[in-house]
């Protein structure tokens, strides 16, 4: 086999080994490979989940659990007692003090799930949610749970 063919095959294998999107509860495809190659490499996962309590017009109050938001990245053990060094964006969702955007996104998802009929186009859903936010938001509560 020529060196060029070996490089081509190696490149394909490397591309396949580094995975795509990760769903809650799944481990990224690259994690086992990284942990085997570099024992000091750690996988860091942050997750923001929530529960929204809201009352849609002409309906009884409901509790909605929107899909959680998950981010992941790697870090390195840098001291014998376990201090880890990583990039700030990896842990930002966990340490972010201003949760307004996350709360707003969860509220919009909950309104869509609880208050709207199924089968609406994306444009109609968005418009309907925007019309309902001023009526629903004042009495809605959004509780967040962050894990690292």
Q: CA 103, 108, 109, 115 torsion: positive or negative?
A: positive
Residue 143 counted as domain residue: yes
Residue 110 has pLDDT above 90, yes or no: yes
Distance CA 119, CA 31 (A): 39
Alpha carbon distances (Å) from 98 to 47, 72, 104? 16, 20, 11
pLDDT, average across residues 44-60: 92
Residue 51 counted as domain residue: yes
Residue 4 counted as domain residue: no
Residue 78 counted as domain residue: no
Distance CA 26, CA 131 (A): 36
pLDDT higher at 32 or 135:
135
Residue 81 counted as domain residue: no
Neighbours of 144 (CB within 10 A): 12
Q: 109 is in which domain, residue-wise?
A: 46-73+87-147
* 41, containing H or E segment: strand 41-54
- The count of structural domains within the chain is 1
Residue 6 counted as domain residue: no
Predicted pLDDT of residue 6 = 36
Q: Are 34 and 41 in contact (CB under 8 A)?
A: yes
Residue 54 counted as domain residue: yes
pLDDT digits (tens, 9 = 90+) for 114-138: 999 889 999 999 999 999 999 999 9
Q: Bridge-partner residues for 141, per DSSP?
A: 53
Residue 29 counted as domain residue: no
Q: CA 110, 113, 115, 121 torsion: positive or negative?
A: positive
């Amino acid at each position: 086999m020529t060196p060029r063919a070996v490089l081509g095959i190696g490149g394909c294998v490397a591309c396949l080994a580094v995975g795509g999107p990760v769903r809650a509860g799944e481990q990224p495809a690259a994690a086992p490979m990284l942990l085997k190659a570099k024992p000091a490499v750690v996988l860091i996962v942050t997750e923001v989940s929530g529960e929204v309590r809201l009352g849609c017009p002409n309906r009884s109050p409901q509790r909605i659990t929107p899909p959680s938001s998950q981010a992941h990245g790697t870090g390195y053990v840098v001291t014998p007692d376990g201090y880890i060094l990583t990039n700030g964006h990896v842990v930002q969702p966990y340490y972010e003090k201003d949760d307004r955007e996350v709360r707003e996104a969860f509220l919009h998802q909950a309104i869509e799930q609880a208050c709207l009929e199924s089968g609406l186009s994306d444009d109609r859903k968005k418009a309907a949610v925007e019309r309902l936010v001023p009526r629903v938001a004042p009495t809605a509560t959004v509780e967040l749970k962050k894990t690292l």
